[in-house]
Amino acid sequence: MIMKDKKILVVGLAVSGVPTVNALIQLGAKVTVNDIKKEEQLQEVIALLDQEDIDCIFGRHPENVDGYDMLVLSPGVPTDLPFIMKAKERNIPVIGELELAYRICRGTFVAITGTNGKTTTTALTGKIFENACRETYVVGNIGVAAVSKALEASKDALMITEVSSFQLESIVDFKPHIAAILNITPDHLNRHKTMENYVAAKANIFKNQTKEDFLVLNADNDEAYRLSSQAKSTVIPFSRKKHLDRGAFLVGENIVVKEDGQEYQMVCSINDLNIPGNHNVENALAAVAMAYWGGIDIQTIAQTLKSFMGVAHRTEIVGEIHGVRFINDSKGTNPDASIKAIEAMKVPIVLIAGGMDKGSEFDEFILAFHGKVKHMVLLGETAVKIKNTAEKHGFYPCTIVKDMEEAVEEAYRIAEKGDVILLSPACASWDMYKNFEERGRHFKDCVERLRRSQ
């Protein structure tokens, strides 16, 4: 992709914005950066840019886009902003960071999306390829922008990439050799407006695939699996609930893989996994399917599954104080994710929930308590909305607090020996934090302060 002397407007200086700018500079482009935040709010980010003579438009969006050869959007930037629509009308290419990474990278992409489970599955899949001694980069929505490794990767590299619906909105040519859709449940409806739009964004992950490529789909999730009818690629299903003619599934408590017309091969027992819950069995099955059809031997897959300890902020055990365990599931950014975390717990729960309102409803979330949740401590924008939904369904033990410090202290006051205090917000973090990682770290800091005070 020839970028030398091209005039590129990079919109959004978030996690992927800085490496996008730096990669474009390395390729010889003339870059203008734009962010709706004011310059004084962006000083830390600006310091990370590779050179000083970049044009900047801060605190507003550009009025005129006619002078640019291309716009590159960070994932958080809505694609329907007026100046972006104007660029499209003038046939100025508008792509996202993921698309740029694909165009400038010589390696092969393995892409993972879904409403829930993306980070765990991406980390596990990446670890399998690493343990098979393949050149592997674990990138994307997992916290390392794909573009930051794109120029470094050789033609033999595997780019194991977590991709969000936001990133998939702005792809053009992006074509992973292996794509996976783990599940689809309602999420981000404040951005996508309708469920149909959300599903369509997810489906973009395989729109450019051909029959030589693979699409891994959850056969137990109707919304995801019905997309198989649209695929030109070879569909590899996985299932926790039924036997398959081809794919990854369970026989008893054993994970197996099966190719067409062959006997299944056993990988390992689900009891060998160190990540709790049925949702993590599904994540493991998806990773097994991607690795096996990606050419990795079963022994390496099995050894990795047995040693993988999960990821930070996803049902992460933080510690224990006087018999009360603390678990950080800050990655639970929608109701379905938090339902899965609750289902994975075997003891009474004091639940800390609430955050930014993404337009989700919380009825199924409350109905999933099944007597496990003894008290709910609520914070953030959605606190009252969740409390009202809980009371509508007859769940009354709720306390609204102002911040995480108070949430941890109140939860510990309520909890008894043998209980678990679970942070699983069922909401995004952006009303109080930069991201779910910052929220999870703050929770862990609050737990540590509480431990020292005891």
Task: Give the three-class secondary structure for 115.
Answer: coil
Which amino acid is located at 175 in the chain? K
DSSP state, 405?
A: H
Whole-angstrom distance, CA of residue 173 vs CA of residue 361: 35
120 is in an annotated binding site: yes
440 is in an annotated binding site: no
Whole-angstrom distance, CA of residue 419 vs CA of residue 375: 11
Which amino acid is located at 103 in the chain? R
Q: At what angle do helices 278-293 and 335-344 cross, to 10 degrees?
A: 110
117 is in an annotated binding site: yes
Which amino acid is located at 335 in the chain? P
22 is in an annotated binding site: no
Burial 211-225 (b: 16+ CB within 10 A, else e): eebbbbbbbbbebbb
118 is in an annotated binding site: yes
Strands (E), 165-239: 178-181, 214-218, 234-239
- Count the Cβ atoms, other than its own, within 10 Å of residue 73: 29
From the list 159, 110, 290, 168, the residue with the least C-alpha distance to 217 is: 290
Going by their DSSP bridges, the two strands 316-321 and 265-269 should be labelled as: unpaired
Whole-angstrom distance, CA of residue 47 vs CA of residue 78: 25
- Count the Cβ atoms, other than its own, within 10 Å of residue 411: 28
Q: 347 with 373: CB under 8 angstroms?
A: no
Q: 329 with 339: CB under 8 angstroms?
A: no
Known binding-site residue numbers: 114-120
Q: Which residues are annotated as a binding site for ATP?
A: 114-120
